[in-house]
Amino acid sequence: MMGKIKRGITWSIAVIIVIIVVAWFSGGTSIYVPDGSITSTEINTSTETLNESINNARYTYVDYLSDHQNSIDYGLNSIEADLTNLDAISDDETGQLALQMTKDEVAHYEINVLSSGYYHIAVDYKIASATLNQITVAVRVNSEIYYDEMNTIEIPIIWEDESKVYQTDRYGDEVLPNQVIVDGWHQVSLYNNTYVSVEPLLFYFEAGMNTVSIINTTSSIFTISNITLHSPVETVDYETYKSLHNESPVKDLITIKATNYTVKNSSYVQAFAESNPSVAPFDPIYKKLNIIAGNTWQLSGQSVTYEVEVPTAGMYKLALRYANYKYDFPVFRSIRINGEVPFSEVASYAFPQTPNSSWAVETLHGESGDFYFYFDQGINTITLRAETEPLQQGLRKIQMVIDHINTFSLEIRQITGKDIDKNRTWKFTNFIPETPQYLESYITLLKSVITDLSIYAPNGAASSTISSIQKALSRLENIYEDYDRIPLYLDDLVGGTGSINQFLGDSLQTISNQPLYLNEIHLYHDETLKKPNASFFESFWAMTQSFFASFTTNKYSLTKEADVVDVWVNRPITYVDMMQKMADQTFTPETGIKVKISVMPDPNKLIMASAADQQPDVALGLASYMPYDLAIRGAAYELTKFPDYWEYASQFAPGAFVPYILNDK
């Protein structure tokens, strides 16, 4: 009996030890639940503590807007200004002065402002069709820099699809059309390259004569013309908007396919073929381009514009068939109708998370019910743009903590030296007395961040999207309890994987990304919309068709075809699929030469294929020794026999050809 009791006690102790060990190695993270105890005074004090103790602290647009929000005037008059550069020439198309902006070129303007205040700046510009790299400029107002983002302002390149009639590859799958730059002059109000705000950047102008300088900081070339100062506009709320539009709701259903966008401001935003019967169009065998891929449309500021022809002017509900796979957190989009945000509730509309592989139909709505939007008769535009403005205060605080930890850790390293003496009895406040204040400021700001962000998450402070901030906070609280020995915790601060800085850096990217998968947009009143997800029977039937088709398709199989360049590639199927689409989309139409690209899981098959006289024309993705093995068996073609070989070979370093040389004389 005593033996059983002893064994029971032993097992209990073992279980407790295991629990302690698991808790220890899992980080022992406690969850901070906002309770309203962090005051604005504490946040401001912490911010001042960190900013005053770091050289060249950031002063961002978020800071600038926070400091001057109450000074913004609405209803100021617009003012247009011409270039004052002596080498500016008259543009044939517009008749206005224009200047070609090469790298470091500066465009100068003088503006007589009647009323001092904060203005947006709009720029007229034209992009060369051969430009591929994004364009950023720096702006100076009266030679001053008001905030850091004035050094990284984006001049967007406007893109469109070459054709909306999608070509198919040799297997019947639709391929992406070429992306082309929209020619001609455009006007854009200035944003920084991370688009921290829904509205354009604000710049302060004194009454009287002012100067504006725009400097091209990239190697891309564009042409610039006039600039216009225009007043900020205060966006009304929905109730006010509704009172301005007394039209009746229109009983009609208009559906816009997500892939039928007119223009976009980023070539990275791409259509994608989703093999899911919940989206339209869908084919169980062939790939159809049917959605905008969220992993290509996730950066703040990326926008997509649709044209919709409305037969009857009036009020319509707006619904999106979408998916958001961001863990336990919404993604934000601004909605613009004919270029303007109609009311404040859709300036940064939150689209909730959807379960993996599931879709949702979100009719835009508020607390009092569905929103109605006014559309004119005829052609209207709808622009959806990724936004992070609601999250910017939190992101700014995270960045502030990261910046200060980096500086503070260097100060610690200067005192301790490269190798920290772990056996020394540290009393670090003798060296940097502010150490506890710094740690308290980190903790206060991170608690404030969790408070700011948790209001958007269904699970609040326990959201997995902000879990890295919780881990960083927990570690900071542990360090604070032993702050006089902070040199021993330096790796916990900035030591790479698992450090506080790494957790916070991951949080910056995770929170900033706004991936939204989009299939359709609906304008309607009381019509019944299709359910967001396919039924069990629809899914089963699609799966059955796809399963049986897999036995008959020859996609990417190692086959030999006449009058076709046969290419075997030792790469994953997604890689091969992309290569095949590129060949079918560009190479074959331009040359008339058909190409078949196949997956080669085992490169050794090349030798057996050579023996059977079934070798491909080209093999890619091989180890460097394999061309030699093939050459000594007479299975490789001598490249020097091509008349243009030396022309192309001259582009490479001579040493690159060493593994491919046989019988060099």
Q: Residue 658: what pLDDT?
A: 76
Confidence bin at 222 (pLDDT 50/70/90): very high
Q: Residue 174: what pLDDT?
A: 86
Q: Residue 301: what pLDDT?
A: 96
pLDDT tops 70 at residue 665 = no
pLDDT tops 80 at residue 604 = no
Q: For residue range 392-435, what is the model confidence (pLDDT) as tens digits?
A: 999 999 999 999 999 999 999 998 887 787 778 889 999 999 99
CB 518 within 8 A of CB 384: yes
Q: For residue range 356-386, what is the model confidence (pLDDT) as tens digits?
A: 889 999 999 999 999 999 999 999 999 999 9
Cα separation, 368 vs 363, in Å, equals 13
Q: Residue 624: what pLDDT?
A: 73
Q: Residue 576: what pLDDT?
A: 80
Mean pLDDT throughout 77-106? 94
**What's the whole-number average pLDDT of the chain?**
88
Report CA 328 to chain centroid distance, whole Å.
18
Q: Residue 131: what pLDDT?
A: 79
Q: Which of the pair, 633 or 565, is modelled with greater confidence?
A: 565
519 φ/ψ angles, rounded to the nearest 5 degrees: -110, -45
Report CA 652 to chain centroid distance, whole Å.
35
Helix (H) or strand (E) holding 501: helix 500-512
Cα separation, 625 vs 226, in Å, equals 60
Percent of the chain at pLDDT exceeding 90: 62
In eight-state DSSP terms, residue 284 is: S
pLDDT tops 60 at residue 135 = yes
Burial environment of residue 529 by CB neighbours within 10 A (0 to 12, 13 to 18, 19 or more): middle
**pTM, to two decimals:** 0.84
Confidence bin at 559 (pLDDT 50/70/90): low
pLDDT tops 80 at residue 1 = no
Cα separation, 289 vs 273, in Å, equals 4
Q: How far apart are the first and last CA of the chain?
A: 90
**Number of Cβ within a 10 Å radius of residue 423:** 4
Least confident of 130-139, 369-378, 647-656: 647-656
Q: Which of the pair, 574 or 325, is modelled with greater confidence?
A: 325
350 φ/ψ angles, rounded to the nearest 5 degrees: -90, 125
Q: Residue 317: what pLDDT?
A: 96
Mean pLDDT throughout 277-305? 92
Q: Which of the pair, 282 or 377, is modelled with greater confidence?
A: 377
pLDDT tops 80 at residue 573 = no
Q: Residue 24: what pLDDT?
A: 41
Q: Could you write out the DSSP letters of every residue in 174-195?
A: B-PPPEEEPPSEEEEE-EETT-
Cα separation, 466 vs 372, in Å, equals 34
pLDDT tops 50 at residue 11 = yes
Q: Residue 20: what pLDDT?
A: 42
CB 189 within 8 A of CB 120: yes
In eight-state DSSP terms, residue 157 is: P
